[in-house]
A = this chain, B = another copy of it.
Amino acid sequence: MPMIVALAGGVGGAKLADGLAALLGRDLAVVVNTADDFDHMGLRVSPDVDTVMYTLAGIANPETGWGIAGESWNFLDQAARFGGPAWFRLGDRDLATHVLRTERLRRGERPTVIAADMCRALGIEAAILPMSDAPVRTIVQTAGGPLAFQDYFVGRHCEVAVTGFVFEGAERATPSGEVCGVLASQALAAIIVCPSNPFVSVDPILAVPGMRDLLRARRVPVVAVSPIIGGAAVKGPAAKMMGELGLEVSTRSIAAHYRGLAHGLVIDMADAALAPAIEGMGMAVRIVPTLMRSVADRRALAQACLDFAAALGRR
């Protein structure tokens, strides 16, 4: 069976990954951003890996996109009573992931192995692969100085204006053996860049030394899905960041961002008028509904990506 590799960050990326997983099962590998990871109350939290994992396991909270459905908050409530931090919402069930992961990391186990075991326990067939077993941390640069990613994203609700991003530790990181394995696989048929934030979800993956070369080495089609629809982000700060970075808040900027990596860009029908400009950049375009409101939407967008990749063929 041909194998597909998807690159994904958090909520939006997880939804398309879920659609792909429904179509592909074990023939899908999702390489996930880990530069949002941080240590909180002594526990290693890996938000994007967990969001993809919970989404593919069918236990994600449908309202928030992150966390577990039907979650309780008694740990957090009691921790706050002790003066502990409550700004990052650790649910009681979610906490099991962080406690068990942290214990195993302290024993010297690799994040990739831990994630694989957890996915197996949750009945996930697709491989969910942290982009690297080495720590990479997104630092958000602002006029007021650098901020750790979660301080910016959760602590300050993305309110401060960004001036740039640094992926601390990236220079010492390498793709895991598992990531190298799926990207070097003879079965690899296409690479899908999910509609995740290009700056803080996809760029950290691409910042791991060797990753870009691995993505291009097999000459399979690379299809990106724009996270911008009609000049706005579906969720999260992608559009706000584009404005602050002086970019046009448009799918055209997404095309420019992925030029040299993606052969084709999937854009929403709301942005159909931009297709000629994007094609003018040397990138193929497919115009489909990209907003994923339902599980059926996820599958439909996933199928559109696979069809587009098949049409693009080897590059």
Could you tell me which A residues sit within 8 Å of B by CB distance? 41-43, 68, 71-72, 74-79, 81-84, 91-97, 99-100, 102-103, 106, 117-118, 121-122
Closest to A39 in B: B103
Whether B93 and A75, one on each chain, are in contact in the complex, defined by CB atoms closer than 8 angstroms, is yes
Known: A72-B72, A74-B72, A75-B75. A82 touches B102 (CB 8 A): no
Whether B93 and A78, one on each chain, are in contact in the complex, defined by CB atoms closer than 8 angstroms, is yes
A237 CB to nearest B CB, Å: 29
Whether B95 and A75, one on each chain, are in contact in the complex, defined by CB atoms closer than 8 angstroms, is yes
Additional 7 contacts, C-beta under 8 A, given A42-B99, A43-B99, A82-B121: A41-B99, A71-B74, A72-B74, A74-B91, A78-B93, A82-B118, A92-B92
The one of B43, B95, B121 in contact with A81, judged by C-beta atoms closer than 8 angstroms, is: B121
A93 to B76, CA, bound (A): 8
A76 CB contacts on chain B under 8 angstroms: 96
The one of B71, B77, B83 in contact with A93, judged by C-beta atoms closer than 8 angstroms, is: B77
Could you show 16 A-B contacts with beta carbons less than 8 Å apart? A41-B100, A41-B103, A42-B102, A71-B74, A74-B74, A74-B92, A75-B92, A75-B96, A77-B93, A78-B95, A78-B96, A79-B99, A82-B118, A84-B96, A84-B100, A99-B99
A81 to B96, CA, bound (A): 9
Closest to A77 in B: B93
A66 to B66, CA, bound (A): 33
A211 CB to nearest B CB, Å: 29
Whether B42 and A83, one on each chain, are in contact in the complex, defined by CB atoms closer than 8 angstroms, is no
A91 CB contacts on chain B under 8 angstroms: 74
